[in-house]
Structure 1
Amino acid sequence: MPNSRLQGVMKRAVFGFASVSLSAMAANAQEAPRVPSFNLHGSPGLIDMPTAETAPDATLSTTFSYVGDTMRSTIGFQITPRLAGYFRYTALANFVDNDDWDDVYFDRSFDVSYQILRESKYRPALTLGMRDVLGTGLYSAEYLVATKTLSPGLKVTGGIGWGRLGSYNSFASAGTRSDITLELGGIPTYDRWFRGDISAFGGVSYAPNDRWNFKLEYSSDAYANEVGAGQIERTSPWNFGIDYRFKNGNQLSLYHVHGTEVGAQFTLSTNPKFQGIPGGVEPAGVAIKPRNPSEIADLGWTLDANASSNAKNALGVLAAKEGLVVEAVKLENHRATVRLVNPRFGAPSQAIGRLARTMSRSMPASIEEFVIVPIANGVPMSAVILKRSDLERLEHESADKMLAEASIIDGYNLGLKPNDGLYPKFEWRLAPYVDMSVFNPSQPVKLDVGVRASAEYYIRPNIVLEGSITKKLAGNLDKEGRSDESALPRVRTDNDIYSREGDPAIEYLQVAAYGRPGRNLYSRLSVGYLERMYGGVSAELLWKPVNSRFALGAELNYIQRRDYDQLFGFQDMTTVDPETGAKYDIPHVNGHISAYYDLGNGFHGQLDVGRYLAGDYGGTISIDREFANGWKVGAYATFTNVSAEDFGEGSFDKGLRFYIPLAPFIGQPSRKVNPVTIQSLSRDGGARLNVRGRLYEETREYHEPEIAKSWGRFWR
């Protein structure tokens, strides 16, 4: 049995990983395609060995497995129909001789696999995979595997492996291969790939029905490190297992492996593509009201001030019932221009469609052109121009036909001034919060829970005073990490001190001003306590044409480090390494130039180049896969002029991020999103200021490419 330290560690790790996978426990709005069996490493496979199968496109899985004194947690994502990636966190008890860690060794690794050939009537599926391409090398292995369905439920698998998968009963060699475990990790070990001994592995699985699956495999992994450390005893390469699949697709497995060990595994799986569309049970929008042809040419209303006022008031009332805010309306003989704020719908096209319906019921009959100007941060984003006759003609046709008739142009100079009495405006809320840090070697999951009070005072539509105060109720973020050593200014690794001394704390308190300095241009200026560790001034400028997939931005920050208590004071910008006494200065100035591009097919890329908090220079590459229902799954990596040795464990900053919308789970429209970021390790290199209100996301939301993506919601 594993020791109590390992059990406690992995309970916390399970909690952290499960925060990403809660969606898997929710009932899908649509039934997702059936997923294959997952193995102990969290990828499609038999027991320990891989198969050539792939999960359905966009499958997001989380696997928790336990064998002997080893526990693994793996997050997997089917990036494309053929390409998949897996991030794994492993705790091995009795693996190292270190009393401070209670003999528990923690390992992070990343795998990729690509299906070269799909299975056909006569041809097996063929997949090329690599384990631990970014990690310490403990699980480093490459493989080529084929899987064929022989009859319903019966599948056979065979493959060859290198590295760990070539360590037992090898039949050939491809040169020498280092087996040294890297202390820092995080660096691709190119010199090992497809080198060393080569072994064969294989197995068979039989599923008599949709619930049960029986598996037998021959493993080519000798588990030399674990056997050598005395962690396990391995007497046989034959492993046996049984899966039970729940109705929702989740998998529970029991195994007998190595001839001596018993193991168990649980896999949660979900698919963002099939998590439903935001909303769905909310009341339908009002029907389009056709005009009487005899009234279309009647302009008599233009001579009656009450008629114009009544039309504007009626629109405001109808829009409010839809959860929309009409801040201003301008009526002309044949055109109505509306200033729209959307606090409810995550899909911008649904907000536009709902407003267009209400306009058809409230605007005078002579008005043929509806100009809807979405407002974000108090400034106009775009202008969506719709013909009323098209709305009347196409209400019961597909949304695509309406999109073909619509025009989307820059909203610059089209933003009406809001009606009197709307500003200044005050909003506030009280809610619980969770602040989490993962993968610190001695504290795999650290988190604080508490209460957050936040408020916004809109001095003008585009100028807001905002702040947040937190009170911690419980947590362990204040616990020190394994080592205080840092070869860089401590811009992030003193997070434990901020957590310990900042209770209660002012998370942020700033004034932010947003603007449109020119066509295709957007601006932001933020002043105050910008985040929990830094205050100062942050300025941003974004160039984003309304019809373009490409955008450019620039951000410049002047900062001062806040006091640890996170109240109103500041401290100097010099940090001291408690291990060596070395002093490091944090620079006041940092910033980035950013390029954004919509790659198509739901993929979005971003490149940030500039100076980071610790004074290091470099760039961050981010790739996200985005779904029409608001889900996003992505990854990022930051490379700077800081060496791997100076950066410390992990070698460079990298991580996964998930944006989980609330709407698909509550069945009602909502703009709330739960962002989850999993960093491989929080270090000082590649750290960036966490300033609020960055321009790009809200700006592109109301531009043509994004509106078009969600246009299927226009008639909802």
Structure 2
Amino acid sequence: MHRRIFQLSSLTLTLMHALPAVANDQDFTLFRPTQSDFGGVGLMQTPTGRVAPEGEFSIGVTMNDDYRHYHSSLQLMPWLEATIRYTQVPDLLYSGDDSFSGDTYYTDKGIDVKLRLWEESYWLPETSIGMRDIGGTGLFDGEYIAASKHVGPFDFTAGIGWGYIGNSANLKGDTSLGYDCGRDTSYKGKGGSVDFARWFTGCASVFGGVEYQTPWQPLRLKVEYDANNYKSDFIVTRSDKPMPQDSSFNYGMVYTFGDWGDIRASYERGNTWTLGFTLKTNFNSLSQSWVDTPTPAYAPKPQTDAADIDWQRVAQDLDTVAGYREAKIYADNKTVTVVGSQGKYRDRELAHEKGAMILANTGTSASTFNLVEQQANQTTTQTTIDVAAYRKVANQEYVGAKVSDATTLVNPNSPRGMLQADTSEPWSVSFSPNLQQSIGGSEDFYLFNIGVTGGASYWLTDNIEFGGSVYVNLYDNYDKFKYDVPPDGTDLKRVRTLVRQYISDNPVRVSNLQLTAFDKFGDSVYVQGYGGYLETMFAGVGGEVLYRPLKSNWAFGMDVNYVAQRDPNSEFGIFTEERHYDPTTGRYYNVQTGTPTGHFTTYYRPEWSWFDDLLIKASVGQYLAEDKGVTLDVSKQFDSGVIAGAYMAKTNLSAEQFGEGSFNKGFYISIPFDIFTVKPSASRAVIGWTPLSRDGGQMLGRKYSLYSMTNARYPGSEFTNK
């Protein structure tokens, strides 16, 4: 008997060693979290306690006979996952009004968040709390607490769900009060609002499952116990289509394609096949190999008088090698100052290293180098380089020598010495692609236009620029956008909802033509004034002032404008009559003939370890439709330089006045060009998602933003306006 007990104990210890209880990179290099049907890390219908690696971005589609989920998830922080989802219901139309939505499927827009409470340890499972569909109309809204634990190739999950996730009420709830156990499933206004009062109410159920990593690396198997009974689903309550549940167990498999995607198949409710796929990348590890101009070797020449150095050649090298474009060089035998824009390297330290090496190899006797960065001819920062300290760095005289050991970031000073070289030009010409899109609207699920913008500018003085741009529309489907006021219940002045007239009806249009004056007061106050055709839809005059101290994580700005709406049927005309007739809809509408608009904005970059690389912008003021309120814009900068952000504008408009969506909101991603190119570049591309084109909470689109222009004043910042 004792021998058998000893043998069993030995077997138990052997199994404990064979099946480790703690997840780590060595034990589970092949086991990475995958997306659920709804988007976000999970099994199929149910979430898990897991989150993806920080920076992971995924887009996916999940389809069955009942729903089509289009979802995108982003691991914003190690502890915070965010998911945006659009769900189409093929059995239901967007509305009963054919003239308003035609044959467009009913589309639900939802936002999910998951917060990891703690990571997995030897004894504790990885545990998270989450909310599903917090910003939609409540089709799938629910809350949960889930915990997941690795045991060898298995990942076990158990949790408690409320709302849609727990409608079987196997833990708590009175189904005699309704399929939702008395939970208030109505939504406020026109949808899109967050209803905190119903969180963690109604039915509550236990759910769980397991994910198994098979010996064949690409294949994973999933089994879950689904705690939803599908009796309160939108299809069931709004149509005659049933959603029977023949089994509470769902079975699925995932075939992964390395780190970039997977395909999913599952058999759910005992009667329904579901298919899906996911594409993903990681914004932290995203990188590209450049074919770059190498940094010159350190080869100092004999000391040479400043007047005898070929500074014009030096300016060319600073452009091609270090990225300081249109530079002016001031020099004497004590100081060399380079004033130019940095258009090549997002990593300023790399630009400093190359610039310092070029200057050090000239043979100058100067003891100080100054690299002054400017944007729109306005100086923003000065990097002062101690030449003696830099020579030690260049010679690698100590371990870990780097250019930052010899540099100091200061406010720009007036350059000393004579102007030795000037490669600046008053003219500039640019071309850029443009994509505008709106997802989930009533007229069509995806509305977009793609085109090219060509711009040119001329500097009349160092502070005054005259410039403009022309937009050429290559293709769009905004002819389907036939927004009509009465069906949507709002009588606001039409500002952004006139987009069809400006894009589809006018494929070539002067999008900007303005005179801009810049100036600077003291070390930290930047100003601009402008007038003309400020954007595609509005003309007027305005100005902006920004207070931004060097190295500060705070900044304050204010813009004030007076604008009138441009007439889409006239290249340079503006509306002079407020009331107009729309022959497409056969109804009258009002436009903006002149109004003040502007905002006071606070910019804040938290310096907390658990909330790092964020920019929080809060703007208070009056919008284009004369509504007043606050816009909150939060964006995250990842290691690769990719910036992901979201914004919302809440004004004094009621949900009924605003229309569908209740308030203005959107998402955007700003991507550095050099991620896709073979050469370094400081330029960026911005992709935005707007759920609906509406008129409330709309800001003026200004050509220049002083905060973006002065990004170099906060070391490491690449934040840019959407």
Give TM class, smaller chain. 0.7 to 0.9
- Structure 1: which 4+ aligned runs deviate by more than 6 Å? 397-400, 415-421, 577-580
SS in 1 for 2:410: strand
Match of 2:88 in 1: 91
Tell me which of 75, 78, 93 is aligned to 2:75.
78
> Does the 8 Å contact 1:587/1:615 carry over to 2?
no
Match of 1:409 in 2: 410
User: 579-588 or 444-453: which moved more?
Assistant: 579-588
Task: Pick closer, same or farther for the CA change 1:398–1:442 going to 2, 3 Å.
Answer: farther
| Cα distance in 2 between the residues matched to 1:518 and 1:80 | 38
Match of 1:143 in 2: 144
Residue identity in the other structure for 1:187: S
Match of 1:46 in 2: 43
Residue identity in the other structure for 2:500: D
1:203 aligns with 2:213: no
> Does the 8 Å contact 2:111/2:135 carry over to 1?
yes
Match of 2:5 in 1: none
SS in 2 for 1:36: coil
Residue identity in the other structure for 2:499: N
Task: Pick closer, same or farther for the CA change 1:169–1:589 going to 2, 3 Å.
Answer: closer
SS in 2 for 1:501: coil
1:257 aligns with 2:265: no
SS in 2 for 1:663: helix
Residues 387-429 of structure 1: per-residue CA shift (max 9 Å, x gap): 1122221234688854244211111544999878756533334
Task: Pick closer, same or farther for the CA change 1:659–1:417 going to 2, 3 Å.
Answer: farther
Task: Pick closer, same or farther for the CA change 1:313–1:102 going to 2, 3 Å.
Answer: closer
> Does the 8 Å contact 2:39/2:73 carry over to 1?
yes
Equivalence map 1:482-561=2 (5 Å): 483-485=484-486, 486-561=490-565
User: 33-42 or 328-337: which moved more?
Assistant: 33-42
Task: Pick closer, same or farther for the CA change 1:253–1:137 going to 2, 3 Å.
Answer: same
Tell me which of 296, 301, 308 is aligned to 2:305.
301
1:282 aligns with 2:289: no
| Cα distance in 2 between the residues matched to 1:349 and 1:577 | 58
Task: Pick closer, same or farther for the CA change 1:669–1:647 going to 2, 3 Å.
Answer: same
Residue identity in the other structure for 2:568: Y
SS in 1 for 2:481: coil
Q: CA deviation at 1:274?
A: 0.2
Match of 1:4 in 2: none
> Between Structure 1 and Structure 2, how many residues are aligned?
663
Q: CA deviation at 1:349?
A: 2.9
Match of 1:134 in 2: 135
Task: Pick closer, same or farther for the CA change 1:244–1:159 going to 2, 3 Å.
Answer: same
Task: Pick closer, same or farther for the CA change 1:507–1:402 going to 2, 3 Å.
Answer: same
| Cα distance in 2 between the residues matched to 1:443 and 1:686 | 23
Residue identity in the other structure for 2:337: T
Residue identity in the other structure for 1:340: G
Residue identity in the other structure for 2:219: W
Task: Pick closer, same or farther for the CA change 1:227–1:290 going to 2, 3 Å.
Answer: same
Q: CA deviation at 1:459?
A: 2.9
Match of 1:656 in 2: 667
| Cα distance in 2 between the residues matched to 1:139 and 1:478 | 32
Task: Could you tell me which runs of 5 or more consecutive residues in structure 2 were left unpaired when the two chains were aligned.
Answer: 1-28, 175-180
> Does the 8 Å contact 1:561/1:573 carry over to 2?
no
Tell me which of 649, 652, 655 is aligned to 1:641.
652
1:236 aligns with 2:247: yes
Q: CA deviation at 1:325?
A: 2.5
User: 505-514 or 529-538: which moved more?
Assistant: 505-514
Residue identity in the other structure for 1:287: A
| Cα distance in 2 between the residues matched to 1:239 and 1:560 | 58
> Does the 8 Å contact 1:489/1:586 carry over to 2?
no
Match of 2:115 in 1: 114
SS in 1 for 2:497: coil
1:213 aligns with 2:220: yes
Residue identity in the other structure for 1:605: I
Residue identity in the other structure for 1:243: V
Residues 236-281 of structure 1: per-residue CA shift (max 9 Å, x gap): 222111100102331110111122221111111111110126x643
Residue identity in the other structure for 2:602: A
Match of 2:19 in 1: none
Match of 1:28 in 2: none
> Does the 8 Å contact 2:31/2:213 carry over to 1?
no
| Cα distance in 1 between the residues matched to 2:382 and 2:50 | 47
1:352 aligns with 2:341: no
> Does the 8 Å contact 2:331/2:416 carry over to 1?
no
> Does the 8 Å contact 1:464/1:512 carry over to 2?
yes
* Two-structure CA RMSD over aligned residues (Å): 2.7
> Does the 8 Å contact 2:335/2:416 carry over to 1?
no
SS in 2 for 1:391: helix
Match of 1:60 in 2: 57
> Does the 8 Å contact 1:490/1:575 carry over to 2?
no
Task: Could you tell me which runs of 5 or more consecutive residues in structure 1 were left unpaired when the two chains were aligned.
Answer: 1-31, 710-716
| Cα distance in 2 between the residues matched to 1:409 and 1:530 | 34
Normalised to the residue count of structure 1, the TM-score between the two structures is 0.87
Match of 2:314 in 1: 315
Residue identity in the other structure for 2:548: K
SS in 1 for 2:284: helix
Residue identity in the other structure for 1:691: R
1:460 aligns with 2:461: yes
Q: CA deviation at 1:130?
A: 0.7
| Cα distance in 1 between the residues matched to 2:30 and 2:437 | 32
Task: Pick closer, same or farther for the CA change 1:616–1:241 going to 2, 3 Å.
Answer: same
Match of 2:164 in 1: 164
Q: CA deviation at 1:343?
A: 2.4
Task: Pick closer, same or farther for the CA change 1:421–1:214 going to 2, 3 Å.
Answer: closer
| Cα distance in 1 between the residues matched to 2:419 and 2:443 | 54
